[in-house]
C-alpha cells in the first residue's frame, strides 16, 4: 500500500462559451490549496474527493491537492508548519497539540459518530475491554487518533498504559494482519476502514468497544487559527465546497458517480468494486449525525469536554486546556450547511 499519494483536481476541459479565458489562464486564476489526510484512503476523506470531482472547489476559486501522510500527529505538524492549509486530524491529537501551544482548530465534524474501535480476532476468548488487562494492543501509528481513542476506552476500565497494557505500532493492512498471526498483539485499535480491510484480507476481527464510546466523534477538518483570522474567505470557500461534497455523497442517487471520484483519488481502493462499495457505506454511515437539527459537520460541546476529560485521565495531557472552546468552532459548518440548502 502506498504511504503517500497526491491527487490534484484537473482543470476544466472546456471553455465557457462567452469566456475569453484559455484553460491555462483559468488555472492561473485558481488558488492552490493543500489538504493533508492521515492515511492514503480516499474513502476516509470522501467529501474532499467528491468536491474535487464535482468542481465545487473550483467554484470557490480553489485548486485542491491532497497529500496522505502518516497519522494525525503528522497532519497537525504540516498545518503548524504552514505546508498545508487544511487537514483531517482526530480530536484527541488536536487537543494534545493545543496543550503544546499549537493553534489548530477543528471546523467541521466529519466522523460525527465514532469511527474507531478496539477489535480482537473473531476466535479470541477476549469478550470485553477488561480482557485486555496485561495485553498488547496494536495501532496503525504511534500518535494517531486511534491511540487516543484506545487510551480513553482503557481508562474507562481503570487501566493505564505501561501498567495495565501496552501499545505496539504495527501499521495497517498486511502488517497488522502479520502482528496478529505472530501473536505480537491480541487487539487492534483502528478506524472503521482499517478493520474492514483486515476482514477483507481474511483476518476476521470483532469490535469489543463499549457502546457508550459511539458518541466520541472522530477525525474532522482542521485549519490554523491564524488562517481563520487572516484568510477567512478561504476558510468559508473551503467549507462551502466541502459541505456540498459531503451532501452530494449522502444522496444514493449519486452513488456511482461518488465511487468513480473515489477510485480516481485512490485507484487501489477502486480495484475491488464490491469492497470499495461496502467500505464507503461503512465510512459514510459514521458521518451522519444522530441529531440532524444543526445539519452536517456540527460539533457537540459536551463531547469535546468528554474528550478532554479522557485525555487528562489517560495522562495524554497533564491539565485541561485554558480554553477548550478555542479548539473548535461551528461557524463554518453553518456556512457549509447554508451552501447545501441553496
Fold matches, 6-112+217-341 and 116-215: yes
Query: Does the pLDDT of residue 179 top 80, yes or no?
Result: yes
Query: Does the pLDDT of residue 3 top 80, yes or no?
Result: no
Query: Domain-by-domain residue ranges, the chain?
Result: 6-112+217-341, 116-215
Average pLDDT value for the chain: 90
Express as a percent the part of the chain with pLDDT over 70: 92
Report the C-alpha gap between 85 and 222 in whole angstroms: 9
Q: 27 falls in which pLDDT band (50, 70, 90)?
A: low
Q: How much is the average pLDDT of 93-102?
A: 97
Q: What is the pLDDT of residue 28?
A: 60
The pLDDT tens digits for 314-342 are 788 999 999 999 999 999 999 999 999 98
- The burial class, CB within 10 Å (0-12 / 13-18 / 19+), for 321 is middle
Q: 152 falls in which pLDDT band (50, 70, 90)?
A: confident
Give the up-direction half-sphere exposure of residue 26: CA atoms within 13 A in the CB hemisphere.
Answer: 15
Q: Can you read off the three cell numbers belonging to residue 261?
A: 471520484
Q: Which residue has the higher pLDDT, 193 or 59?
A: 59
Q: What is the pLDDT of residue 197?
A: 84
Cβ proximity of 136 and 168 under 8 Å:
yes
Say if pTM beats, i.e. exceeds, 0.85: no
CA distances (Å), origin 48, targets 57, 258, 279: 9, 11, 17
Express as a percent the part of the chain with pLDDT over 90: 76
Q: What is the pLDDT of residue 148?
A: 86
CA-closest candidate to residue 176, choices 149, 145, 152, 202 = 202
- 6-112+217-341 is classed in which CATH architecture? 3-Layer(aba) Sandwich (3.40)
What are the percentages of helix, strand and coil residues in the chain, rounded to 5? 50, 15, 35
Q: Within 10 Å of residue 300's Cβ, how many Cβ atoms?
A: 18
Q: How much is the average pLDDT of 27-46?
A: 92
Query: CATH: 3.40.190.290, 1.20.1730.10, 3.30.70.890, 3.40.190.10. Which one for 116-215?
Result: 3.40.190.10
Amino acid at each position: 500500500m502506498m504511504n503517500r499519494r497526491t491527487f490534484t483536481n484537473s482543470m476544466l476541459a472546456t471553455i465557457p462559451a462567452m469566456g475569453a479565458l484559455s484553460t491555462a489562464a483559468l488555472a492561473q486564476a485558481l488558488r492552490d490549496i493543500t489538504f493533508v489526510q492521515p492515511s492514503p484512503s480516499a474513502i476516509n476523506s470522501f467529501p474532499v474527493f467528491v468536491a474535487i470531482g464535482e468542481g465545487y472547489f473550483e467554484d470557490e476559486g480553489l485548486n485542491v491537492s491532497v497529500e496522505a501522510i502518516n497519522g494525525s500527529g503528522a497532519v497537525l505538524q504540516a498545518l503548524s508548519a504552514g505546508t498545508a492549509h487544511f487537514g483531517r486530524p482526530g480530536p484527541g491529537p488536536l487537543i494534545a497539540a493545543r496543550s503544546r501551544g499549537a493553534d489548530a482548530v477543528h471546523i467541521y465534524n466529519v466522523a460525527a459518530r465514532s469511527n474507531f474501535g478496539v477489535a480482537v480476532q473473531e476466535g479470541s476468548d477476549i469478550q470485553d475491554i477488561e480482557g485486555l488487562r496485561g495485553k498488547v494492543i496494536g495501532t496503525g501509528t504511534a500518535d494517531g487518533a486511534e491511540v487516543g481513542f484506545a487510551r480513553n476506552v482503557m481508562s474507562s476500565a481503570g487501566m493505564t498504559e505501561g501498567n495495565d497494557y501496552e501499545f505496539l505500532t504495527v501499521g495497517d493492512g498486511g502488517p497488522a494482519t502479520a502482528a496478529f498471526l505472530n501473536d505480537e498483539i491480541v487487539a487492534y485499535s483502528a478506524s472503521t476502514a482499517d478493520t474492514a480491510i483486515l476482514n477483507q484480507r481474511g483476518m476476521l476481527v470483532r469490535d469489543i468497544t463499549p457502546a457508550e464510546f459511539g458518541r466520541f466523534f472522530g477525525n474532522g477538518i482542521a485549519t490554523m487559527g491564524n488562517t481563520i483570522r487572516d484568510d477567512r474567505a478561504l476558510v468559508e470557500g473551503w467549507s462551502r465546497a466541502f459541505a456540498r461534497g459531503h451532501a452530494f455523497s449522502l444522496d444514493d442517487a449519486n452513488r456511482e458517480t461518488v465511487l468513480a471520484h473515489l477510485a480516481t483519488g485512490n485507484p487501489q481502493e477502486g480495484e475491488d468494486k464490491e469492497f470499495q462499495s461496502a467500505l464507503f457505506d461503512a465510512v459514510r454511515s459514521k458521518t451522519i449525525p444522530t441529531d440532524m437539527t444543526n445539519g452536517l459537520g456540527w460539533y457537540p460541546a459536551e463531547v469535546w469536554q468528554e474528550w478532554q476529560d479522557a485525555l487528562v485521565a489517560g495522562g495524554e495531557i497533564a491539565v485541561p486546556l485554558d480554553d477548550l472552546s478555542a479548539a473548535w468552532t461551528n461557524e463554518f459548518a453553518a456556512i457549509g450547511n447554508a451552501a447545501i440548502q441553496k
